[in-house]
Amino acid sequence: MPKALVSYYSRTGNTKKMAARIAEVLESQGLEVDLKTVEDTAPADLLGYDCIVLGSPTYYGTMAWELKKLLDESVKFHGKLRGKVGGGFHLLGQHRRRQRDDGPRYPPSAPHSRHGRPGGPPVRPLRPGLDRPAR
Ligand SMILES: Cc1cc2nc3c(=O)[nH]c(=O)nc-3n(C[C@H](O)[C@H](O)[C@H](O)COP(=O)(O)O)c2cc1C
């Protein structure tokens, strides 16, 4: 049975919930899934999976450093990770409109969803008196 890792960083629980849901869906598709925090994921752990899904909240337009650290440290296994299926997701707070206007800030090789990007999920309209318009 193919093995999948869903590894996430979450401070207030939103990314954790999303990670758990993704793990559930992968399991329902017949994969054996490990759900772990990035803090509990060593770079060498990545070698043991056929599918690797990584998730993070958005912090100032990019991923949390805890996930970046894992990715940077995984560089020593780059050749060995070739051929695996990879996926990534990130959670947004209140600055979706601004980030869409500014364009994505993730480096092209980093995992990200299509939120706030052309063809991605719609960005909700500003709520008068509650949201600040993009500058
Ligand atoms: C320090 C910090 C920076 C953040 N930066 C952004 C940001 O640039 N864009 C955004 O949409 N949300 C931003 N957020 C909101 C988080 O991405 C959002 O609340 C996320 O759901 C938190 O995930 P968690 O509950 O898994 O920790 C930021 C939150 C914090 C604490």
pLDDT tens-digit series, residues 55-100: 999 999 999 999 999 999 999 998 999 999 999 999 988 655 555 5
Q: Establish whether residue 116 lines the binding site of ligand 1, counting it when its CB lies within 6 angstroms of any ligand atom.
A: no
How far does residue 63's CA lie from ligand 1's centre (Å)? Answer: 9
Alpha-carbon span 61 to 98, nearest angstrom: 10
- CATH at residue 46: 3.40.50.360
- Within a domain: residue 21? yes
Residue 101 pLDDT level (bands cut at 50, 70, 90): low
**How many structural domains comprise the chain?**
1
Whole-number pLDDT of residue 106: 46
Q: Establish whether residue 123 lines the binding site of ligand 1, counting it when its CB lies within 6 angstroms of any ligand atom.
A: no
- Within a domain: residue 97? yes
Q: Establish whether residue 65 lines the binding site of ligand 1, counting it when its CB lies within 6 angstroms of any ligand atom.
A: no
How far does residue 79's CA lie from ligand 1's centre (Å)? Answer: 32
Contact 88, 113 (CB under 8 A): yes
Domain that holds residue 34: 3-102
- Within a domain: residue 110? no
Query: What is the model's pTM?
Result: 0.76
Instruction: State yes or no: pLDDT of 134 exceeds 70.
Output: no
- Within a domain: residue 68? yes
H helix count then E strand count, the chain: 4, 5
